[in-house]
Every structure is written in C-alpha cells, then in structure tokens.
Amino acid sequence: MDTASFDALNKNAVTSASIMVPCAWLTEVASYAKDHPDVDFGLHLTLTSEWKVYRWGPVESKDKVPSLLDSAGYLWPDSPTAASHIKPEEAEREIRTQIEHAIAVGIHPTHLDTHMGTLFNSPELFAVFSKVARDYHLPFLALRLPGELSKLLSQLSDKDVVVDSFVMANPSVHSGDWKDFYINAVRDLKPGLTEMIVHLGHDDAELQAVTVDHPDFGSAWRQRDYDIVTGPEFKKAIEENHLILVKWKDLKKLLN
C-alpha cells in the first residue's frame, strides 16, 4: 500500500485496504493506521515477490522457512512456482509471523487475503490460510471460484464469509477501455457480496522503477485504477445502481 492508496481512502473511494507486511514502508502504514483507527486495514499475506529488481524476503527468519526462498534468498516470483515449493507448515509459520509483526507495530487487521492468490494454489495452502484466519478470529478472502478451485469451498464452515464474485481489471482490458470496464462492472453486478480489487498508485519515477519491465499491474495500470475509483463517474455509478458499500469490519461482525 502506498501514498495513492492513502489518498483514495481519504476520498472514500476505497472501503478497505490490504497491507503487505514484508515490504518497505510498513512503519508509514502503521503510523497512518494509528491516526485513522476507523480505516479498514487487512493483511495481504505475502509469499511471493514478483518485481524484477525490487524484491523482498520473509518476515520470519530465513532458516525457519527455507522452502519459501528462491536461489537469491527472496520469496518466489510467482504463485505456481511458490506453491510447488512451499511446505504448508512453513507457509503457516510465515503468515503467522506477518500477522504478529503487523500487530506489534500497531496495525490491527480487519481481515486477511492473499497476494497473487498464492494461498489459493493448493488445498493444503488454503487449509493453512483458513486455519490461521480462524485462529485470529478474522474473516478471510474465500471466493466462489470456478473449476477445480471451487473444491476449496468444501473446507469452509457455515460461519465463514464467502465472497460471491469479484471484479478486477485483467491484462485483456485495453488501457483506453479502463473506465468503461469499471463502470460496466458496477452496472452489471448481481445480488450478493462482491469484492472489487483495485491496485492504486501514481505513475511516477518511484513506482516506474519498482515495476520496471512489468506492464501488467505496473505503474500506469495503478494510476488508471486510482484515477477511475477516485473520479466522479465511478461514484455516480455506485449511487445510481444503489450499491451498498461494506467494509471487512462489517463482515467481521458476522463471525461473532
């Protein structure tokens, strides 16, 4: 999460934000969280490090989670590779450490989700995900997914909150169609619980350096997301289609 995400939260364009604990500037997020206790902050549990030159490792000691590391000592660069190497018990050790570290710096998570969907990549990793979330009495991102992924829902209990659908711009969406994609997504939402996932950032020199050679989810991508969800047309579409915005804090109440 970066400054653009803070801006969007201040404009009420985003109801919840997710934090990647292993990454830089966590202390800035912690400071913001302390000053804004009503903001919804989840943890984007992180077992991958995808950028070309800006890399990060685990929060736990590396000797305790060796299966999480690539040959350079960072987290694996993509979810399939990570899932094929990571031992579930080491994944659990790392994500518990991420949660405890976030709490230690003053962030009180409202929910858990998974960076790049890594914890959806096997039944064993999803079992770790759901177990840890329940241990901390937190709602977690559980989606009604198609195909083989739908089998993951068999691990859920009646008390778990399930998201019926989600919306996220994918690489097939042309940059010129960005606004239409989101406005149409709002208009076409079906009854139920939907999560719209946006990646917010400024297309500046700093983020361009971080996301170099990575056009998908890169700096321009994040600027487009930011511009759309903070713009008047998006807000108008939400109002005209009578959407009810909910926070993960609201969903957390369902666990009690």
Distances in Å between the Cα of 115 and the Cα atoms of 121, 163, 239 are 11, 17, 30
pLDDT of residue 19: 95
Q: Which residues contact 162 (CB under 8 A, 6 or more apart)?
A: 142, 143, 144, 153, 156, 193
19: β partners: 43
Q: Is 92 helix (H, G, I), strand (E, B) or coil?
A: helix
What is the rounded CA–CA span in Å between residue 189 and residue 195?
10
Main-chain phi, psi angles of 160, to 5 degrees = -75, 140
pLDDT per residue as tens, the chain (256 positions): 444 454 555 555 567 899 999 999 999 999 999 998 888 999 999 999 999 999 999 999 999 999 999 999 999 999 999 999 999 999 999 999 999 999 999 999 999 999 999 999 999 999 999 999 999 999 999 988 777 777 888 899 888 999 999 999 999 999 999 999 999 999 999 999 999 999 999 999 999 999 999 989 999 999 999 999 999 999 999 999 999 999 999 999 988 7
What is the rounded CA–CA span in Å between residue 99 and residue 164?
26
Q: What is the pTM of this model?
A: 0.93
What is the rounded CA–CA span in Å between residue 251 and residue 247?
7
Q: Could you tell me the domains of the chain?
A: 3-255 (3.20.20.370)
What is the rounded CA–CA span in Å between residue 96 and residue 217?
27
pLDDT of residue 13: 55
